[in-house]
Amino acid sequence: MQIPLFPEQASTISVEVDRLLYFLVAVSVFFTLLIFAAIFYFAIRYRRRSETELPQHVHGGLTLEVVWTVIPFGITMVMFAWGASIFFTESRPPDDAMQIYVVGKQWMWKLQHMEGNREINELHIPINRSVKLTMTSEDVIHSFFVPAFRTKQDVVPGRYTTTWFKATKPGKYHLFCAEYCGTNHSAMIGWVYAMEPEDYQQWLSGAPKGTLSEAGAQLFNDLACVNCHHSDGSGRCPSLVGVYGSTVKLAGGGTVKADEAYIRESILNPTAKVVDGYQPLMPTFQGQVTEEGVVDLIEYIKSLAPKPAEQSNQPRSASPAGLPASNR
Ligand code: CUA
Protein backbone atom coordinates (compact mmCIF):
# COMPACT_ATOMS: atom_id res chain seq x y z
CA MET A 1 0.00 0.00 0.00
CA GLN A 2 1.32 3.45 -0.87
CA ILE A 3 -0.03 6.67 0.61
CA PRO A 4 0.97 9.77 -1.41
CA LEU A 5 2.10 11.71 1.67
CA PHE A 6 4.60 9.00 2.58
CA PRO A 7 8.13 8.70 1.26
CA GLU A 8 8.58 5.93 -1.25
CA GLN A 9 8.94 2.38 0.04
CA ALA A 10 12.32 1.47 -1.36
CA SER A 11 13.73 -1.10 1.04
CA THR A 12 12.64 -4.45 2.42
CA ILE A 13 12.06 -3.07 5.91
CA SER A 14 10.07 -0.03 4.77
CA VAL A 15 6.99 -2.18 4.10
CA GLU A 16 7.13 -3.64 7.60
CA VAL A 17 7.71 -0.26 9.28
CA ASP A 18 4.75 1.23 7.40
CA ARG A 19 2.47 -1.67 8.31
CA LEU A 20 3.22 -1.11 11.98
CA LEU A 21 2.65 2.62 11.58
CA TYR A 22 -0.73 2.02 9.88
CA PHE A 23 -1.67 -0.25 12.75
CA LEU A 24 -0.71 2.41 15.34
CA VAL A 25 -2.63 5.08 13.43
CA ALA A 26 -5.66 2.79 13.05
CA VAL A 27 -5.71 2.01 16.79
CA SER A 28 -5.38 5.73 17.65
CA VAL A 29 -8.13 6.74 15.22
CA PHE A 30 -10.44 3.98 16.44
CA PHE A 31 -10.11 4.97 20.10
CA THR A 32 -10.30 8.69 19.35
CA LEU A 33 -13.60 8.14 17.54
CA LEU A 34 -14.83 5.77 20.23
CA ILE A 35 -14.06 8.26 23.00
CA PHE A 36 -15.67 11.19 21.19
CA ALA A 37 -18.74 9.14 20.34
CA ALA A 38 -19.03 8.05 23.96
CA ILE A 39 -18.71 11.66 25.21
CA PHE A 40 -21.57 12.82 23.00
CA TYR A 41 -23.68 9.74 23.67
CA PHE A 42 -23.32 9.97 27.45
CA ALA A 43 -23.80 13.74 27.48
CA ILE A 44 -27.14 13.33 25.78
CA ARG A 45 -28.27 10.05 27.33
CA TYR A 46 -27.54 11.11 30.93
CA ARG A 47 -28.31 14.81 30.67
CA ARG A 48 -30.13 16.41 33.61
CA ARG A 49 -33.82 16.37 32.75
CA SER A 50 -35.15 18.59 35.54
CA GLU A 51 -33.79 21.11 38.06
CA THR A 52 -34.49 18.76 40.98
CA GLU A 53 -33.16 15.54 39.52
CA LEU A 54 -30.60 13.69 41.67
CA PRO A 55 -28.42 11.14 39.92
CA GLN A 56 -28.34 7.53 41.09
CA HIS A 57 -25.26 6.41 43.03
CA VAL A 58 -23.03 3.93 41.15
CA HIS A 59 -20.61 1.60 42.94
CA GLY A 60 -17.91 0.07 40.71
CA GLY A 61 -18.36 -2.32 37.85
CA LEU A 62 -15.90 -5.18 37.94
CA THR A 63 -16.64 -6.45 34.45
CA LEU A 64 -16.21 -3.00 32.95
CA GLU A 65 -12.92 -2.42 34.76
CA VAL A 66 -11.52 -5.78 33.69
CA VAL A 67 -12.54 -5.10 30.09
CA TRP A 68 -10.93 -1.65 29.92
CA THR A 69 -7.75 -2.98 31.50
CA VAL A 70 -7.31 -6.22 29.61
CA ILE A 71 -8.10 -4.94 26.09
CA PRO A 72 -5.64 -1.98 26.13
CA PHE A 73 -3.03 -4.21 27.75
CA GLY A 74 -3.41 -6.73 24.93
CA ILE A 75 -3.20 -4.02 22.29
CA THR A 76 -0.09 -2.42 23.78
CA MET A 77 1.59 -5.82 24.03
CA VAL A 78 0.91 -6.37 20.34
CA MET A 79 2.53 -2.98 19.63
CA PHE A 80 5.49 -3.89 21.82
CA ALA A 81 6.12 -7.33 20.29
CA TRP A 82 5.63 -6.09 16.74
CA GLY A 83 7.87 -3.05 17.25
CA ALA A 84 10.54 -5.13 18.99
CA SER A 85 10.63 -7.66 16.16
CA ILE A 86 11.20 -4.89 13.59
CA PHE A 87 13.80 -3.32 15.86
CA PHE A 88 15.69 -6.62 16.11
CA THR A 89 15.57 -7.08 12.34
CA GLU A 90 16.95 -3.57 11.88
CA SER A 91 19.70 -3.97 14.47
CA ARG A 92 21.10 -7.23 13.10
CA PRO A 93 22.72 -6.90 9.69
CA PRO A 94 22.69 -10.17 7.73
CA ASP A 95 26.07 -11.92 7.56
CA ASP A 96 26.28 -11.58 3.80
CA ALA A 97 25.76 -7.81 3.85
CA MET A 98 28.22 -5.71 1.92
CA GLN A 99 30.16 -3.28 4.06
CA ILE A 100 30.22 0.49 3.61
CA TYR A 101 31.87 2.92 6.02
CA VAL A 102 30.33 6.25 6.89
CA VAL A 103 32.07 9.17 8.57
CA GLY A 104 29.94 12.14 9.53
CA LYS A 105 31.43 15.57 10.16
CA GLN A 106 30.20 19.13 10.31
CA TRP A 107 28.64 19.24 7.73
CA MET A 108 28.98 16.41 5.32
CA TRP A 109 28.73 12.68 4.90
CA LYS A 110 31.84 10.81 3.78
CA LEU A 111 31.26 7.31 2.49
CA GLN A 112 33.80 4.64 1.65
CA HIS A 113 33.27 1.47 -0.33
CA MET A 114 35.42 -1.61 0.21
CA GLU A 115 36.64 -1.37 -3.36
CA GLY A 116 38.09 2.05 -2.58
CA ASN A 117 35.43 4.36 -4.04
CA ARG A 118 34.95 7.38 -1.82
CA GLU A 119 31.94 9.64 -1.97
CA ILE A 120 30.73 12.81 -0.29
CA ASN A 121 27.01 13.34 0.30
CA GLU A 122 26.28 10.67 -2.26
CA LEU A 123 25.93 6.96 -1.77
CA HIS A 124 25.70 4.50 -4.63
CA ILE A 125 24.39 1.05 -3.77
CA PRO A 126 23.08 -1.96 -5.65
CA ILE A 127 19.47 -3.03 -5.19
CA ASN A 128 18.50 -6.45 -3.83
CA ARG A 129 21.66 -6.66 -1.78
CA SER A 130 21.95 -6.11 1.97
CA VAL A 131 24.16 -3.14 2.76
CA LYS A 132 25.68 -2.71 6.21
CA LEU A 133 26.84 0.74 7.25
CA THR A 134 29.51 1.07 9.92
CA MET A 135 29.42 4.67 11.02
CA THR A 136 31.27 7.14 13.19
CA SER A 137 31.62 10.89 13.54
CA GLU A 138 34.63 13.19 13.59
CA ASP A 139 33.00 15.77 15.82
CA VAL A 140 29.44 15.78 17.15
CA ILE A 141 26.45 13.46 16.99
CA HIS A 142 24.83 13.20 13.59
CA SER A 143 22.09 10.87 12.42
CA PHE A 144 22.00 8.99 9.13
CA PHE A 145 18.44 9.09 7.83
CA VAL A 146 17.09 7.71 4.57
CA PRO A 147 13.30 8.07 4.72
CA ALA A 148 12.67 5.88 1.68
CA PHE A 149 14.48 3.04 3.47
CA ARG A 150 12.90 3.86 6.87
CA THR A 151 16.42 3.81 8.29
CA LYS A 152 17.64 6.25 10.90
CA GLN A 153 20.67 5.70 13.09
CA ASP A 154 22.72 8.04 15.24
CA VAL A 155 26.34 8.54 14.23
CA VAL A 156 28.35 9.09 17.38
CA PRO A 157 31.94 10.33 17.86
CA GLY A 158 34.27 7.81 19.48
CA ARG A 159 32.38 4.68 18.58
CA TYR A 160 30.94 2.68 15.73
CA THR A 161 27.23 2.32 15.18
CA THR A 162 25.77 0.15 12.46
CA THR A 163 22.62 -0.04 10.44
CA TRP A 164 21.60 -1.92 7.34
CA PHE A 165 19.05 -1.98 4.56
CA LYS A 166 18.25 -3.77 1.36
CA ALA A 167 17.06 -1.46 -1.38
CA THR A 168 14.33 -2.88 -3.58
CA LYS A 169 13.79 -0.19 -6.23
CA PRO A 170 16.31 1.65 -8.37
CA GLY A 171 16.07 5.36 -7.79
CA LYS A 172 17.43 8.48 -6.17
CA TYR A 173 16.50 8.94 -2.52
CA HIS A 174 17.00 11.69 0.04
CA LEU A 175 19.72 11.31 2.66
CA PHE A 176 19.38 13.56 5.69
CA CYS A 177 21.19 14.31 8.89
CA ALA A 178 18.47 13.91 11.48
CA GLU A 179 20.27 15.20 14.56
CA TYR A 180 20.79 18.92 15.06
CA CYS A 181 24.55 19.30 14.71
CA GLY A 182 25.22 23.01 14.34
CA THR A 183 24.79 25.92 11.95
CA ASN A 184 24.67 23.98 8.71
CA HIS A 185 22.80 20.95 9.98
CA SER A 186 20.07 21.57 7.42
CA ALA A 187 22.65 21.47 4.64
CA MET A 188 24.03 18.11 5.73
CA ILE A 189 22.03 16.30 3.12
CA GLY A 190 22.68 14.11 0.14
CA TRP A 191 21.38 11.42 -2.15
CA VAL A 192 21.34 7.68 -2.15
CA TYR A 193 21.43 6.15 -5.63
CA ALA A 194 20.02 2.65 -5.69
CA MET A 195 21.17 0.98 -8.89
CA GLU A 196 20.72 -2.26 -10.80
CA PRO A 197 23.64 -4.52 -9.84
CA GLU A 198 25.22 -4.25 -13.31
CA ASP A 199 25.04 -0.46 -13.22
CA TYR A 200 26.53 -0.50 -9.75
CA GLN A 201 29.46 -2.66 -10.89
CA GLN A 202 30.02 -0.25 -13.74
CA TRP A 203 29.90 2.72 -11.38
CA LEU A 204 32.34 0.99 -9.02
CA SER A 205 34.87 0.42 -11.75
CA GLY A 206 34.48 4.00 -12.97
CA ALA A 207 37.12 5.66 -10.82
CA PRO A 208 40.75 4.61 -10.50
CA LYS A 209 41.56 3.83 -6.87
CA GLY A 210 43.00 1.25 -4.53
CA THR A 211 40.86 -0.80 -2.18
CA LEU A 212 40.44 0.24 1.44
CA SER A 213 42.74 -2.53 2.59
CA GLU A 214 45.43 -1.42 0.13
CA ALA A 215 45.18 2.12 1.48
CA GLY A 216 45.35 0.59 4.96
CA ALA A 217 48.49 -1.36 4.08
CA GLN A 218 50.13 1.86 2.92
CA LEU A 219 49.12 3.62 6.11
CA PHE A 220 50.31 0.67 8.21
CA ASN A 221 53.68 1.19 6.61
CA ASP A 222 53.68 5.00 6.77
CA LEU A 223 52.74 5.10 10.45
CA ALA A 224 55.50 2.55 11.14
CA CYS A 225 53.04 0.07 12.66
CA VAL A 226 54.95 -2.53 10.70
CA ASN A 227 58.06 -1.95 12.86
CA CYS A 228 56.43 -3.58 15.86
CA HIS A 229 53.60 -5.68 14.47
CA HIS A 230 55.55 -8.32 12.54
CA SER A 231 53.35 -10.76 10.70
CA ASP A 232 55.28 -13.76 12.09
CA GLY A 233 54.75 -12.70 15.72
CA SER A 234 58.45 -11.98 16.34
CA GLY A 235 57.91 -8.26 16.98
CA ARG A 236 57.48 -6.40 20.24
CA CYS A 237 53.76 -6.23 19.56
CA PRO A 238 51.31 -8.97 18.66
CA SER A 239 51.05 -10.21 15.09
CA LEU A 240 47.83 -9.01 13.52
CA VAL A 241 47.40 -11.98 11.20
CA GLY A 242 44.04 -13.59 11.84
CA VAL A 243 43.29 -11.28 14.76
CA TYR A 244 40.07 -9.92 13.30
CA GLY A 245 37.09 -11.91 14.54
CA SER A 246 39.20 -13.82 17.04
CA THR A 247 38.95 -13.72 20.81
CA VAL A 248 41.90 -11.87 22.31
CA LYS A 249 43.24 -12.62 25.79
CA LEU A 250 43.96 -9.46 27.74
CA ALA A 251 46.62 -8.67 30.29
CA GLY A 252 45.10 -8.85 33.73
CA GLY A 253 42.56 -11.43 32.67
CA GLY A 254 39.48 -11.25 30.53
CA THR A 255 38.99 -11.48 26.80
CA VAL A 256 37.63 -9.30 24.05
CA LYS A 257 36.27 -10.11 20.62
CA ALA A 258 38.43 -8.42 17.99
CA ASP A 259 35.78 -6.53 16.05
CA GLU A 260 35.92 -3.13 14.34
CA ALA A 261 35.33 -1.27 17.60
CA TYR A 262 38.16 -3.09 19.39
CA ILE A 263 40.63 -2.44 16.58
CA ARG A 264 39.63 1.21 16.43
CA GLU A 265 40.09 1.55 20.19
CA SER A 266 43.47 -0.20 20.03
CA ILE A 267 44.69 2.32 17.46
CA LEU A 268 43.41 5.43 19.21
CA ASN A 269 43.69 4.33 22.83
CA PRO A 270 46.15 1.43 22.85
CA THR A 271 46.49 1.08 26.61
CA ALA A 272 42.76 0.54 27.11
CA LYS A 273 43.03 -3.18 26.37
CA VAL A 274 46.55 -4.61 26.36
CA VAL A 275 47.04 -8.07 24.91
CA ASP A 276 48.13 -10.72 27.40
CA GLY A 277 51.90 -11.22 27.36
CA TYR A 278 52.75 -7.81 25.86
CA GLN A 279 53.86 -4.51 27.34
CA PRO A 280 51.76 -1.34 26.86
CA LEU A 281 54.38 0.14 24.53
CA MET A 282 52.19 1.38 21.75
CA PRO A 283 51.71 5.15 21.47
CA THR A 284 48.28 6.53 20.73
CA PHE A 285 47.51 7.47 17.15
CA GLN A 286 44.79 9.87 18.19
CA GLY A 287 45.19 12.96 16.04
CA GLN A 288 47.63 11.28 13.66
CA VAL A 289 45.12 9.25 11.77
CA THR A 290 41.70 10.31 10.55
CA GLU A 291 38.55 8.25 11.01
CA GLU A 292 38.84 7.27 7.35
CA GLY A 293 42.42 6.20 7.99
CA VAL A 294 41.23 4.07 10.90
CA VAL A 295 38.71 2.44 8.58
CA ASP A 296 41.47 1.69 6.06
CA LEU A 297 43.62 0.16 8.79
CA ILE A 298 40.73 -1.96 10.02
CA GLU A 299 40.12 -3.27 6.52
CA TYR A 300 43.83 -3.99 6.11
CA ILE A 301 43.90 -5.89 9.41
CA LYS A 302 40.78 -7.79 8.37
CA SER A 303 42.52 -8.78 5.15
CA LEU A 304 45.34 -10.37 7.17
CA ALA A 305 43.21 -13.44 7.71
CA PRO A 306 44.98 -16.79 7.55
CA LYS A 307 42.05 -18.13 5.52
CA PRO A 308 40.66 -16.33 2.44
CA ALA A 309 38.56 -13.33 3.46
CA GLU A 310 34.84 -13.96 3.11
CA GLN A 311 33.55 -10.47 2.61
CA SER A 312 35.35 -9.77 -0.63
CA ASN A 313 33.49 -10.47 -3.82
CA GLN A 314 36.59 -9.95 -5.93
CA PRO A 315 39.98 -11.59 -5.75
CA ARG A 316 42.24 -9.49 -3.58
CA SER A 317 45.67 -8.44 -4.66
CA ALA A 318 48.49 -10.08 -2.76
CA SER A 319 48.46 -8.84 0.80
CA PRO A 320 51.57 -6.89 1.75
CA ALA A 321 51.46 -8.23 5.29
CA GLY A 322 55.13 -8.99 5.65
CA LEU A 323 56.62 -5.80 4.35
CA PRO A 324 60.41 -6.06 4.29
CA ALA A 325 62.46 -4.00 6.70
CA SER A 326 63.77 -1.81 3.87
CA ASN A 327 60.26 -0.44 3.41
CA ARG A 328 60.24 1.19 6.80
CU1 CUA B 1 24.85 16.43 11.03
CU2 CUA B 1 22.80 17.41 11.71
The answer to whether the pTM exceeds 0.75 is no
Pocket of ligand 1 (CB under 6 A): 104, 107, 142, 177, 179-181, 185, 188
User: Residue 291 C-alpha to ligand 1 middle, in angstroms?
Assistant: 17
User: Residue 182 C-alpha to ligand 1 middle, in angstroms?
Assistant: 7
- So what's the pLDDT on residue 3? 63
Residue pair 141/68 in contact (Cβ under 8 Å)? The answer is no
Question: Confidence band (pLDDT; 50, 70, 90) for 321?
Answer: very low
**C-alpha span between 328 and 200 (Å, rounded):** 38
User: Residue 13 C-alpha to ligand 1 middle, in angstroms?
Assistant: 24
16-45: b or e for each residue (b if 16 or more CB lie within 10 Å)? bbbebeeeeeeeeeeeeeeeeeeeeeeeee
Q: What is the mean pLDDT of residues 104-116?
A: 89
- Among 55-59, 193-197, 213-217, name the most confident range: 193-197
Tens of pLDDT, residues 15-60: 999 999 999 999 999 999 999 999 999 999 988 888 888 878 888 8
Q: How far is CA 77 from the centre of its chain?
A: 27
User: Residue 245 C-alpha to ligand 1 middle, in angstroms?
Assistant: 32
Q: Specify the ligand 1 atom closest to the Cα of 141.
A: 1
**C-alpha span between 89 and 104 (Å, rounded):** 24
Strand locations in 188-237 (E): 190-195
Q: Specify the ligand 1 atom closest to the Cα of 106.
A: 1
User: Residue 273 C-alpha to ligand 1 middle, in angstroms?
Assistant: 32
- How is residue 250 annotated by DSSP? B
Q: Specify the ligand 1 atom closest to the Cα of 155.
A: 1
Residue whose CA is at the smallest distance from ligand 1 atom 1:
142
Q: Specify the ligand 1 atom closest to the Cα of 182.
A: 2
User: Residue 153 C-alpha to ligand 1 middle, in angstroms?
Assistant: 12
Higher pLDDT, 256 or 77: 77
Question: Confidence band (pLDDT; 50, 70, 90) for 147?
Answer: very high
Angstrom CA distances, 16 to 6, 13, 144, 176, 220, stand at: 14, 5, 20, 21, 43
Range with lowest mean pLDDT among 103-107, 157-161, 284-288, 308-312: 308-312
Residue 101: count other Cβ atoms within 10 Å of its Cβ: 25
